[in-house]
């Protein structure tokens, strides 16, 4: 595979948080929606009994390759995140009631956030990586959860865990082990190292 040299990157996502991380790192890029059916991909994967980390990587790969086919010759970055609690994999909550159920299930327990990132060129995967963070939520009463959700509103619906650590969601936790960028949803340090090694950004 021929890897393009320094040029404008593509982020296969419309996530404002992933865009923010890349912009803050000084990267120049375009952002396009991958337009894939994530739930259909997950349903197909269930037959193989993949780990939550594998699911994150598969979805990141699907996003990156889908966009890279439409933009040959460009380096396309795809990323996805799964939240796992024991054997359960969480999806983004549907409405405030769904967010409440998420937080009740996570209360007082330790869950994992698995963030996969993939670089694709011309529909082929050039690189893949997954990082995992471990988060322990403090015990939360149902009344506190209701008050918390009333304050933060529907912003939490964009997060698989129904919380945003960069905001008031930090109050829900008693211990966090892992990289901040992994938690937000795009492991920046390994991604930047790989982009440098490919000659895609200034080293």
Q: Taking Cα atoms as reference points, which of 14, 16, 42, 1 lies closest to residue 166?
A: 16
Residue corresponding to tokens 């995992």: 132
Q: Which of 50, 65, 60 is nearest to 186 (CA)?
A: 60
Among candidate residues 37, 80, 143, 179, the one labeled active-site is 80
**Helix/strand/coil percent split, the chain, to 5:** 40, 25, 35
Using only the alpha carbons of the chain, give its radius of gyration.
17
> In 3D, which of 147, 164, 143 has the Cα closest to residue 155?
164
- Block residue for tokens 């936790």: 173
Question: Is residue 143 flagged as an active site residue?
Answer: no
Residue 161 in contact with residue 83, Cβ under 8 Å?
Answer: yes
CA within 13 Å, CB half, 182: 22
**Residue 89 in tokens:** 């994999």
| CA–CA distance, 36 with 42 (Å, rounded to integer) | 11
Residues identified as active-site: 80
């Amino acid at each position: 595979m021929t890897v393009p040299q320094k040029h404008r990157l593509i982020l296969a996502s419309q996530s404002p948080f992933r865009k923010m991380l890349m912009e803050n790192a000084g990267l120049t890029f375009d952002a396009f929606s991958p337009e894939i059916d994530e739930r259909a991909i997950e349903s197909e994967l269930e037959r193989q009994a993949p780990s939550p980390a594998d699911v994150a990587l598969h979805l990141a790969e699907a996003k990156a390759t889908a966009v890279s086919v439409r933009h040959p010759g460009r380096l396309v970055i795809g990323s996805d995140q799964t939240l796992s609690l024991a054997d359960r994999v969480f999806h983004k909550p549907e409405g405030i009631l769904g967010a409440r159920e998420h937080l009740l299930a996570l209360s007082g327990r330790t869950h994992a956030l698995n963030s996969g990132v993939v670089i694709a060129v011309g529909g082929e995967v050039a690189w893949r990586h997954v990082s995992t963070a471990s988060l322990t939520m403090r015990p939360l009463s149902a009344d506190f959860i209701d008050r918390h959700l009333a304050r933060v509103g529907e912003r939490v619906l964009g997060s698989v865990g129904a919380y945003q650590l960069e905001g008031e969601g930090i109050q829900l936790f008693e211990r966090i082990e892992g990289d901040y960028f992994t938690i937000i949803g795009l492991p920046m340090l390994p991604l930047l190292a790989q982009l440098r090694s490919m000659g895609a950004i200034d080293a």
